[in-house]
Amino acid sequence: MVEGAATGPLSRPSTYPTGQSAEGLRRSVCLYTRSESPSGMGRHMLDLVEGLTGRMDVTVMCRTGPRARWLFEEAAALGARTVALPSPHDPTYQRVIRGFLSAHRLDVFHGHAGWGWEDPDGLRLARVAGVPAVVITHHLPFLLSKQAKAEKLVENTSFAHWRIAVSDGLRDTYIARGVREEHFVTVPNGVRSRQRPPGRAAARAALDLRPEDLVVLSTGRLIHMKGQRYLIEAAALLKPAWPNLQVVILGEGELRQELEGLAAERGLTGSVHLPGHRGDARMLLDAADVFALPSRAEGMPLALIEAMEAGLPVVATRVIGSTEVVTEGEAGLLVPAQDAERLAAALAELLDDGEKRARYGAAGRTRYLRDYTVEAMVTRTQAVYDLALDPCS
């Protein structure tokens, strides 16, 4: 990790002031993703935009389809230059990237990738154009199982001078597949503090929940990776002992109908709620007694960090990223992935003990302030830029 994280500081400071090039010019950075649905990765990029604007000239290069336009528009609203990318299958895709690189002086080209099949064009073209520092942040673990695809990913991303992982466990998955350890550091995700959270009563009113309900809340896209079906199965096990239990799953995705059907099949209509995507999801955390994240895989889950910022006790699965955010028995509990019975048991432990919930929630808030603020994430990322631009590194 970079300075302030568990594995110690980056090894060498920059030879010139942060935010300024060796020639005394204001530095410039392009944040790039080809993802058609950037989700949490997009939020991470926007936090970098906000944190770096004022220190550097910032460009965001991304797609503008229905699931990515929000990133393009919000980056522009924050003052970043924006470059719209067509589909990677469009013959003009590389031309757009090359045109920007030839027309603008860049110090840093910073690509952001989720799953391993993100294409290499941005990194490769930036390297060919002679951008001094080409950086890639990996947001999800290396999960490719086919050897040919795995080798291609290592080759494609080798165009980066430096790599960033959002968790140590994620970094280890790349090293295990042949990526070199040097110039590969961990910068944990960070989130902003909420401004004027509404409080328990208002948040519950917004979700039509009663003051006496016991509320387990989860946020995330409704996809297989997030494992929400196991939370519904756990709710079915808990409901007989806690008739006032309410489970709220905020988010939208391809599994909505399947999850609604499962809840009905388990007799949980009226007890499991799927309100869809809510722009105020972080504010609605105040409605919860416990936050649950039953994911099958993660990189460094923003949802957990947001819950800890809100002072909630958490129950999460033992997957990469979550195990680094949650210290077992301190801020929350960890259970095996895809195990509804163990998930139910952990939730029951917290639902049954208000004092423990309060203690875990306070510990999580302290940990957030120490390790996972967006200010720390931006500072650590800029430290990587400094090293990548340091001729001695």
pLDDT per residue over 319-335, tens digit each?
A: 999 999 999 999 999 99
pLDDT digits (tens, 9 = 90+) for 234-274: 999 999 999 999 999 999 999 999 999 999 999 999 999 99
Measured from the Cβ of residue 381, the count of other Cβ atoms closer than 10 Å reads 25
The domains located in the chain, with CATH, are: 28-190+373-389 (3.40.50.2000), 200-371 (3.40.50.2000)
pLDDT attached to residue 34: 93
pLDDT attached to residue 11: 36
Strands 184-186 and 28-32: unpaired
User: Helix 93-103 to helix 121-128 angle, to the nearest 10 degrees?
Assistant: 40
Which region, left, alpha or beta, applies to residue 79 given φ > 0 means left and ψ of -120 to 50 means alpha? left
For the chain, list residues with pLDDT below 70: 1-24, 115-119
Distance CA 24, CA 3 (A): 25
Side chain identity at 348, as an amino acid letter?
A
pLDDT attached to residue 109: 98
Q: Which of 384, 382, 321, 380 has its CA nearest to residue 3?
A: 380
pTM: predicted TM-score of the whole model, two decimal places: 0.89
Distance CA 46, CA 58 (A): 11
Residues 30 and 61: beta-carbon distance below 8 Å: yes
Residue that is written with structure tokens 């806690």 in the block: 242
Distance CA 60, CA 323 (A): 31
